[in-house]
A and B are shown apart, each in its own frame.
Chain A
Amino acid sequence: MTATTASPSPVDDFAAIPTRIQDEVNRAIQRSIKGVEYIASSGPTLGSTPKDVLHSRGTMKLYHYRPMADEIYRVPILIVMATTNRGYILDLVPGQSFIEFLLKRGYDVYMLDWTAPTPEEKNLRMEDYVLDFIPDSIRRVQKDSGETDVSVIGYCFGGVLSTLYGAIFPDGPMKNLICFTTPVDFTKMELFHNFSDRRYFDVDRLVDSVGNVPPEMILTSFEMLRPASRVAGQVQLWENIWNDEFVKSYRMFDRWATDTLPLAGEYFRTITKDLMWDNKLFTDTMTVGGRPANLAAIKVPILHAVAEHDHIVPYEAAKHLIAKVGSTDKQEVILKGGHVSLVAGANAIKRLWPKLDSWLGERST
């Protein structure tokens, strides 16, 4: 038997026209009113989950979020944020905050976040991040929580730093490792790879002349991956400006995406030469401060969440992490969404967060 779907007849279409016109007129009026409101207001407050600064040193800031559950898991979590962006993407607004979700599910959460490196910090190297900032944060988390074990979550380049740390310190104290959209084969980040083509991109000259790499340059390189999307986004914003939820969401993500951090010059030089040019993480030749950082050395349970439509870290660049680590308890999850919607927003609430909770809860006692 074939099911028949009643398609609207031309008469139905004709009858619907007055309602449609009325809707459009209402929306046009709302657009004018809300458009003025949009310009006059500053948008929602982001990153407002209660927290304390546990330690602050130059570009690094270590936060402890105040627990929200009556009983928490034994093993605390340290989130290592990407060095190009602010950590509040994981703590947007109540109800859309990954941090809040973790706290309510009974995790004790710490975050290693970054502020803009000052011109004097242009000499920060990869070793400062991997052999100093992360180990120092872990020691402070251990001391504050009274626990030896710590689970680490790294987002994007925070995932690269976390895997380097895990590879150099395989005997702990990292108990579990969770990476979100973490690249391993940098040649598969094709556009970034082409932008930094060693025949034309003189990284030494850039770093020697500007010190820290300006945030505008980082932002431009991200936006160049989808050059039409900013304009299309603004068209969509105008069309949906009558819709408070759409506007709130647009403002949150737009503010975060444009709030890019500069990168310390020496650190950027190493990223370009060792990872972009020589692809050392993929070829198992990466060293940090003279210490080998081979992914096979990582033996702790690991979960890698990657996005199906990630235009910044394509799946081809990220898929090798699970294959290369030496862990026996390892899992990759490919979820719908993009680089940001994987971790924040409606998609993340439905897909990534519950998955992470069920995986990590069992390994946090």
Chain B
Amino acid sequence: MADNKNDPAEIWRTMVGEMEKGFNTFANQAMASPEFSKVVNQAGSVSAGAQKQMGDMMEKYLTGMNLPSRAQMTNFGERLAAIESQMSEVVSILRDMHQAAGGAPIGDATPRPPRTKRPPSNEGEGA
């Protein structure tokens, strides 16, 4: 087999790996400075403000077009989720009542294995 040091593909791989490492190190040093934090947070703050204004404008536009807004759709989804959650509770209560009355398990119908397992070292199997 040829020596890997002379393999162009291997040289390429090594180069990519080294460049990645070098750039990450350089960027990490730059990002550790307070100046970086200041610039990034100023930009982030402007972007968040613009996003909020855009959302408000869009909400007014949708109201004008007689269309549901994102907030209304989200509220609708919330209500559905709350109904699902309550149904899940009702199913859970019904299951408990059914089992308390001596009925067979519902849903995950396979019987649970016994909780008797011991760690291998205790069974003499060795760890």
Q: Which residue of B lies closest to A106 (CB)?
A: B117
Q: How many residues of B contact A (CB 8 A)?
A: 57
Provide the bound-state CA to CA distance between A217 and B41, in Å: 12
Residue of B nearest to A206 (CB): B48
Whether A232 and B41, one on each chain, are in contact in the complex, defined by CB atoms closer than 8 angstroms, is no
Residues of A close to B88: CB separation below 8 A: 53, 55-56
Which A residues are in CB contact (< 8 Å) with B33? 194
User: What is the bound-complex CA distance between A227 and B119, given in angstroms?
Assistant: 44
With A12-B2, A73-B117 known as contacts, the answer to whether A191 contacts B32 (CB < 8 A) is: yes
On whether the beta carbons of A24 and B119 are closer than 8 Å, the reply is no
Contact of B34 among A8, A64, A197, A235 (CB under 8 A): A197
By beta carbon, the residue of chain A nearest B51 is: A210
Binary contact readout A34-69 vs B (1 if CB under 8 angstroms, 0 otherwise):
000000000000000000110111100000101101
Query: Which residues on B sit within 8 Å (CB–CB) of A70?
Result: 113
Per-residue 0/1 for B1-39: is the Cβ within 8 Å of any A Cβ (1 yes, 0 no)? Answer: 111001101001100110110011001100111101110
Q: Is A171 an interface residue (CB 8 A)?
A: no
CA of A358 to CA of B23, assembled, Å: 40
**A185-226 Cβ-contact flags toward B at 8 Å (1 or 0):** 000001100110101111001100110000001000000111
* Docked-complex contact B115 and A147, CB < 8 angstroms: yes
A8 CB contact (under 8 Å) in B1, B116, B119: B1
Chain B positions within 8 Å of A8 at CB level: 1-3
Cα A119 to Cα B55 with chains together (Å):
13
Expressed in whole angstroms, the minimum distance between the Cβ of A127 and any Cβ of chain B is 20
Residue of A nearest to B119 (CB): A361
Asked if A245 CB lies within 8 Å of chain B CBs, one says no
Complex partner residue of A205 from B28, B45, B107, B110, CB under 8 angstroms: B45
A5 to chain B, nearest CB (A): 11
Q: Which residues of B contact A57 (CB under 8 A)?
A: 85
CB < 8 Å: which of A53, A145, A202, A358 contacts B45? A202
Alpha-carbon separation in the docked complex, A64 to B112 (Å)? 12
CB-contact partner of B84 in A56, A72, A118, A147, under 8 A: A56
Docked pose: A335 CA to B75 CA in angstroms: 46
Structural contact, B37 and A200, CB atoms closer than 8 A: yes
Question: Is A32 interfacial (CB-CB < 8 Å)?
Answer: no
Q: Which residues of B contact A67 (CB under 8 A)?
A: 112-113
Of B38, B81, B116, which contacts A71 at CB under 8 A? Answer: B116
Q: Are A13 and B108 in contact (CB under 8 A)?
A: no
Least Cβ–Cβ distance between B122 and chain A, in angstroms: 8
In the complex the two chains form, is B32's CB within 8 Å of A358's CB? no
Closest to B34 in A: A197
How many angstroms from the CA of A73 to the CA of B88 in the assembled complex? 28
With an 8 A cutoff between CB atoms, is B68 at the interface?
no
The interface residues of chain B lying within 8 Å CB-to-CB of A53 are: 88
Give every chain A residue within 8 A of B36 (Cβ-Cβ): 194
In the complex, A3 has a CB within 8 A of chain B: no
Q: Are A195 and B49 in contact (CB under 8 A)?
A: no
Let me know if A194 and B34 touch, CB within 8 A. yes
The 4 A-B pairs at the shortest CB distance, nearest first, are namely: A361-B119, A232-B20, A16-B2, A228-B23
In addition to A16-B2, A202-B41, A210-B51, 14 A-B residue pairs with Cβ atoms within 8 Å of each other are A7-B3, A69-B113, A74-B116, A119-B71, A120-B78, A190-B32, A191-B32, A194-B33, A197-B34, A197-B37, A199-B38, A209-B52, A210-B48, A235-B16
